[in-house]
Structure 1
């Protein structure tokens, strides 16, 4: 906490302050916005003025150029232009609807995340979207997040249910459903499922903050001496996924508890857990920094921060240690001595919220998605009707193409534009949809048994017999 004083005015803020405006170098007023006094919507509306200042005009220009680039990449703008998702007033704020193209993109990312974890010994589970409120009271979530629950009242018997805001208590119940022994440990569950949180409408924004969020959720139940290996396993998954999507520059925030009275569990257990995640960060050569007060209420965590194409940092994946829920749910397994032992719970999400990840990924790529996950990977564009028989032959070849990296059993997704419009218009339409590969087929291509291939930064002619190998080797 810092104080800055100018004359009789003392301000509690991060600062710094300047003595007068002449000390400011290059500056620009950006926008104005309304703000309620002390955040209370019942009080007077004030006007907040936003501005930026830099030491030099060059630094200011660089910042403004970056802002312009960010506006061009805005996922809300691109989501509409590329027909990925929409919102409806009749459905409600913060409840996105995904088109076929957007659904394909989110399923490709979710399936890739699941495949990485499946390769590492995780098994799929399924849990319902509503639950008795008693579950969250037992886990401790109700006391902390009760105001964010969407409540569901049974008209039949009067029971109180809630739309699930998280999945960990459900997975704990699956673990508790039968006796466990040390030979089974660790037990690893994964589930891609939608959760619901009653966010304030003013906090909602595109896919970045929604009321229906889909998590690629993971929970490990393990012994204390298995924590290190499980974290190493999860760190490896995170690194592989974010390298694949072109966001390999990762930092890790080690999120610890503060002195506030908002955390559950024994202080000594917390201190041990915080030491363990720091040791894990060191052992896994993570570029990390420590932050007090950022922990979950049940345990410390590693929050991964990824840098996008224009230098912005976003929180993405997370790994969390939890000694609290196993205690509250009385989770046990039988150890080598025949005694009951308490497991540790490790929470993890590789993408985090899929909606929020997509908001970052769309802006990172500018809508030019990697070939393997693009909703429409390839479009054939005809010059005229003389080549339709040749195009049918090409279609037959492409229909048998199955990509195997980075996601296995990935059938090629392609369309054919046979419309009577001009070739230039058809090419512009394909480019505007940011389709990774466009094959232009004309009479000369038919005669030479070639296709004219156009990508974002590449134009070339390729023999038809080589097209399958070319596509299978695209990154």
Structure 2
């Protein structure tokens, strides 16, 4: 491996090499092991094995110890190019490797890497020598099951996950972040704060509880108001649409494997995985003029995608979700201004939800191998989007081949409080779907001739479910007052003040706030502790002094206290909620 590699380039190579080291250790400890694949992944690596005996989490320290023993005698990683026949002979006792070899194209080079006593079918690259792996800079993290090649009809393998870094300090920083991430895990907080749950026998579908649904509607209504101010019209399209529409749009050919399909009266229908064809159908109603463009059509569209159950993860990856989706129908000349306008909206939204608008990462994803349309049209789309980025002053990295099947796209990634990256917003330039041979959208130009609009697909938050999961983790469940399902709880110091507590709660509720009174039998301190655990922003304590002065003693989650009149607190809370403020001051 060249020493000139940057840290970001070097880490995946170290991790891939550490995966080989782990595989050698596992084979040494469990003779008869069959090895599958072992790639580098974000923050680490994994390797899949068919083991002669089951292992548990308790076996991981033993495997780590063997890995460190192997490191005590450094070995080079050496590459060899061999024939197909040689490869099949070399791996004759490794059925998964033989299957991979047989699936390789006839003209593809077959390479192996040797290190110590381990040899693997591998394209590389690898480090030069195992001494480049610091014995104190890796850790095996967990064991999971994984079907061979992701097919539930194939053997279930044992997957061992690990992480590897250049230095022990880097490893410790990562492990510390993982501990913080575990504390903020939205699945745990979802249970503790009574926000949502997902049934085991109904994977990927969310049951929103009252608290969670209040949060959901608050997010949705806020975005609805922002896009209304930005010139969007809101629509709603059917959840089930016929095969004929999906055939014309190209989804049936390119996306069918991700669609839920049903049948009625001998006709085939699909639950919509996305909203774009429906928006084209709305655009096509009536004659459109160039004066109508840009036309910004938005929808909080309910979508369903047939995601593999093994890939589902709380709110972050679901089957049923709602997108803050919109499609902008515009002329080619309007692309730059519309992308710039969208970027401004995006930054405003992310700032108000508590993210650093200056830490947004942008990725430019270009044409994929599996796509519709000719190269000339793709050239126009990619050039137009690149010019729009330039006009908007966007710095971006290029992701070759990662565009949508109908057009290139920009992806906007948030960086959260723990430094983790979350891809949320996206805008895509589509010359395909509105085309005459697809969904045939047209407008009358200034020349009185028919023209095809460009269709910009855009989402600011993406899936509301996923964004809310990110929000919960970003704030550790302690949502800012404008988002909190319950903004304040009135707690009487003793039963004689329950009536006053209810009176205060009613006043604040009437003023439009989410406030309740707790007049239960628990002691005041127990109530305060409960609402701190539930991360309610303000507890309003009331007793004789407060009753006489029509006031409340406001207690924050941090423990700070301040006495205010009810009107003063209402004005304070109005400021906090009207401005979507996330600051901590009184």
Same fold (TM over 0.5): yes
CA contact (8 A) 1:221 1:346 kept: yes
Q: In structure 2, what is the Cα distance between the partners aligned to 1:412 and 1:71?
A: 32
DSSP-derived class of the 1:274 partner? helix
1:6 pairs with 2:116: no
Structure 1 counterpart of 2:252: 142
Q: In structure 2, what is the Cα distance between the partners aligned to 1:283 and 1:12?
A: 43
CA contact (8 A) 1:94 1:206 kept: yes
* TM-score for both structures, normalised by structure 2: 0.75
Structure 2 counterpart of 1:467: 569
Q: In structure 1, what is the Cα distance between the partners aligned to 2:131 and 2:151?
A: 31
Match of 1:218 among 326, 336, 346: 326
1:195-344 map, 5 Å: 195-247=303-355, 248=357, 249-258=359-368, 260=369, 262-327=370-435, 328-344=438-454
* TM-score for both structures, normalised by structure 1: 0.92
CA contact (8 A) 1:29 1:51 kept: yes
* Shift in Å, 1:448: 4.3
Q: In structure 1, what is the Cα distance between the partners aligned to 2:190 and 2:408?
A: 35
* Shift in Å, 1:14: 6.4
Q: How many residues align?
A: 461
The alpha-carbon distance between structure 1 residues 364 and 16, as it changes in their structure 2 partners (threshold 3 A), is farther
1:427 pairs with 2:528: yes
DSSP-derived class of the 1:192 partner? strand
Match of 1:56 among 162, 167, 170: 167
Q: In structure 1, what is the Cα distance between the partners aligned to 2:214 and 2:123?
A: 46
Match of 2:555 among 446, 454, 470: 454
Q: In structure 2, what is the Cα distance between the partners aligned to 1:37 and 1:396?
A: 59
Q: In structure 2, what is the Cα distance between the partners aligned to 1:74 and 1:379?
A: 25
Q: In structure 2, what is the Cα distance between the partners aligned to 1:48 and 1:171?
A: 43
1:358 pairs with 2:472: no
CA contact (8 A) 1:251 1:286 kept: no
* Shift in Å, 1:18: 5.4
Structure 2 counterpart of 1:412: 513
1:28 pairs with 2:139: yes
1:80 pairs with 2:191: yes
Q: In structure 2, what is the Cα distance between the partners aligned to 1:246 and 1:473?
A: 16
Q: In structure 2, what is the Cα distance between the partners aligned to 1:326 and 1:32?
A: 47
Q: In structure 1, what is the Cα distance between the partners aligned to 2:191 and 2:502?
A: 32
Structure 1 counterpart of 2:49: none
Q: In structure 1, what is the Cα distance between the partners aligned to 2:464 and 2:301?
A: 10
The alpha-carbon distance between structure 1 residues 320 and 462, as it changes in their structure 2 partners (threshold 3 A), is same
1:85-100 map, 5 Å: 85-89=196-200, 92-100=202-210
Larger CA deviation: 270-279 vs 225-234: 270-279
Q: In structure 2, what is the Cα distance between the partners aligned to 1:240 and 1:357?
A: 15
Q: In structure 1, what is the Cα distance between the partners aligned to 2:124 and 2:334?
A: 41
Match of 1:165 among 256, 273, 276: 273
* Shift in Å, 1:113: 1.3
CA contact (8 A) 1:85 1:97 kept: yes
Q: In structure 2, what is the Cα distance between the partners aligned to 1:111 and 1:165?
A: 23
* Shift in Å, 1:13: 5.5
Q: In structure 1, what is the Cα distance between the partners aligned to 2:395 and 2:528?
A: 44
Q: In structure 1, what is the Cα distance between the partners aligned to 2:153 and 2:302?
A: 34
Q: CA offsets per residue over residues 425-445 of structure 1, 9 Å max, x none?
A: 101111111111111112232
The alpha-carbon distance between structure 1 residues 386 and 45, as it changes in their structure 2 partners (threshold 3 A), is closer
CA contact (8 A) 2:233 2:296 kept: yes
The alpha-carbon distance between structure 1 residues 13 and 379, as it changes in their structure 2 partners (threshold 3 A), is farther
CA contact (8 A) 1:208 1:355 kept: yes
Q: In structure 2, what is the Cα distance between the partners aligned to 1:43 and 1:167?
A: 34
CA contact (8 A) 1:25 1:56 kept: no
* Shift in Å, 1:99: 0.8
CA contact (8 A) 1:305 1:316 kept: yes
Larger CA deviation: 320-329 vs 55-64: 55-64
CA contact (8 A) 2:546 2:552 kept: yes
Q: In structure 2, what is the Cα distance between the partners aligned to 1:390 and 1:45?
A: 62
* Shift in Å, 1:377: 1.0
Structure 1 counterpart of 2:504: 394
CA contact (8 A) 1:450 1:461 kept: no
Structure 1 counterpart of 2:289: 181
1:370 pairs with 2:472: no
CA contact (8 A) 2:502 2:517 kept: no
Q: Which structure 1 residue ranges, 5 or more long, are not aligned?
A: 402-410
Structure 1 counterpart of 2:104: none
* Shift in Å, 1:446: 2.4
Q: CA offsets per residue over residues 385-416 of structure 1, 9 Å max, x none?
A: 22234324423431332xxxxxxxxx211111
The alpha-carbon distance between structure 1 residues 55 and 89, as it changes in their structure 2 partners (threshold 3 A), is closer
Q: CA offsets per residue over residues 228-287 of structure 1, 9 Å max, x none?
A: 1111111111110000011122111111114x2x11122122222222222222322334
* Shift in Å, 1:458: 5.2
Larger CA deviation: 26-35 vs 121-130: 26-35
Match of 1:69 among 133, 158, 180: 180
Q: CA offsets per residue over residues 127-154 of structure 1, 9 Å max, x none?
A: 1111111110000011011122111211
DSSP-derived class of the 1:257 partner? coil
Q: Kindly name which structure, 1 or 2, has the bigger radius of gyration based on alpha carbons.
A: 2
CA contact (8 A) 2:204 2:317 kept: yes
